[in-house]
Amino acid sequence: MKRFMVAILSFSFCLLFVCCKNTPAENAPTQLQGKNEAVYSAEFDPETDFDNSLGWTFSSGRNIIETADAFYLLPLSSYIYYGDKATGEYAPLCAKPECLHDEEEFNPSCNAFVGRLSLLSVNYYNGKLYYAKYTNPDYTLYRMDLDGSNHEAVLQLSCDHTKYGIMNACIHRGRVYSSGFKDIVENGEPKQLSSVVCWDMQTGEFKVIFEEKNEYGGRLPMMFFYGKYVYICIESLRGRNVTPGVKILRWDTENELLEPVFDAGEEGISGDLFSCWVVSEDEIYLTALFCGAEHSEFYRISDGKITETFSFTKNGCAFMLDGAVLINGDIEGTDQRWAQIMSFDGKMLFDSNIPLDVLNSTMPASCDYDDIAFTSVHGDPEAFYFLYDCSRSRAGDARWLVRYDISSGTPEAAVVIFATEK
Ligand SMILES: [Zn+2]
């Protein structure tokens, strides 16, 4: 039996996904009125804006970068990889002719070498690649050219690390943002502090834009970057054994104001790890990342009010794509997953199994399908990306970025980047 695991908060928990049962469709799709899909894309500037469709603001980042020519990925090892779009080839990001690259475990002279990173965020910003590395006592932001050359430290990400958990690094319009949570002690009582903080890339100025204490468990804020706003989506806890709610706030980066957008209130919404997609300021979609029989609803928020747009017809886990939501799950006893893509208004755009045999030719001997976790899903309704990890043992660690092109209706899978641990 083959089984897949998604590791979202790798340090705190991981969940096993086993076979999911089909459930009948409950709701007919609802037609949206006045939907303007162009709004987010009109706001989005690829040179300066965080790409929500390829970024992962939970946990340790896990962003992938796509430029006109290539994909970039921080694998499990200490080297940044790129995948060439024209040739389909992938390699450590280094053009030095005599270099052994990642054939050596520790090769700081290789241009692809970044060292072991606890933040897996890699960012594109104004023609450069950025990554953040722990350099006691702070993280430091580094910059490099797209060909891997000219690594330079550009900013120390200083803050009070006894209060603020730095768990990712997302660059958006001149600032580095990080969300996280931290165990703290207040008046002798253990509590958790959830936070979103940022640093100005020019001045280094540090700002706390959101913080919230609770005594019921750490909650990681999810960020969504939209023009001059940073939306913050977080479960709101009001007590132990109480259905968690969810609330959305937004930080106005120009006026430096934190504004409430939505609060599920006392009733709450069941589910875990909510994420949102902002189509326009008055059209926001919300779903629990881990959906199941009791919380399979997909929501629209407009004018501060929430409505259920549709329910998923199968129980899986949901990831926001650019303009759609992808639900997927394991198919027990096979080397495939099932995946459905629903538009935000509930139309089924894709409903098919996705093949994993694309991994076969590169599968290390120490890995098999039982060891493979999918750690994130990115993309849009034309092409989506699964990031697969095998981390059974150091010797067998491997990471794949697989692209599924579904523009023809049938998924065409290709390994964009494959990297193994040395
Ligand atoms: Zn090299």
The per-residue pLDDT for range 94-113, each reduced to its tens digit, is: 999 999 998 988 999 999 99
- Residue 183 bridge partners (DSSP): 192
Instruction: Give the mean model confidence (pLDDT) for residues 268-283.
Output: 87
Q: Which residues are found with C-beta within 5 Å of the ion, ligand 1?
A: 94, 96, 99, 101, 110
Q: Decide if pLDDT at 299 tops 60.
A: yes
79 alpha carbon – ligand 1 mean position (Å): 9
pTM for this entry: 0.89
How many A from CA of 93 to the centre of ligand 1? 7
**Cβ contact 336:354 at 8 Å:** yes
Rounded Cα distance, 173 and 175, in Å: 6
Looking at per-residue confidence, does 314 or 145 come out higher? Answer: 145
Q: Give distance in angstroms: CA of 329 to centre of ligand 1.
A: 38
CA of 176 to the centre of ligand 1 (A): 28
Give residue-wise pLDDT tens across range 242-270. Answer: 767 899 999 999 999 999 999 988 777 87
Report how far ligand 1's centroid is from the alpha carbon of 228 (Å): 38
Q: How far is the CA of 9 from the centre of ligand 1 (A)?
A: 31
Question: How many whole angstroms from 106 Cα to the centroid of ligand 1?
Answer: 11
Query: For residue 115, is pLDDT > 70?
Result: yes
Rounded average pLDDT over 390-418: 84
- Tens digits of per-residue pLDDT, 52-76? 999 877 666 678 999 999 999 987 6
For residue 177, the CA-to-ligand 1 centroid distance in Å is 30
Mean pLDDT for all residues in the chain: 85
**Ligand 1 centre distance from Cα of residue 229 (Å):** 39
Whole-number Å distance, alpha carbon 145 to ligand 1 midpoint, is 14
Residue given tokens 């303007």 in the structure block: 36
pLDDT band at 394 (very low <50, low <70, confident <90, very high): low
CA–centroid distance, 125 to ligand 1, in Å, is 23
Q: Please tell me the predicted confidence (pLDDT) of residue 101.
A: 94
Q: Indicate whether 32 pLDDT > 70.
A: no
> In the chain, where are the structural domains located?
3-354
CA 124 / ligand 1 centre spacing (Å): 21
Distance 115 CA to ligand 1 centre (A): 13
Query: Architecture of 3-354 per CATH?
Result: 6 Propeller (2.120)
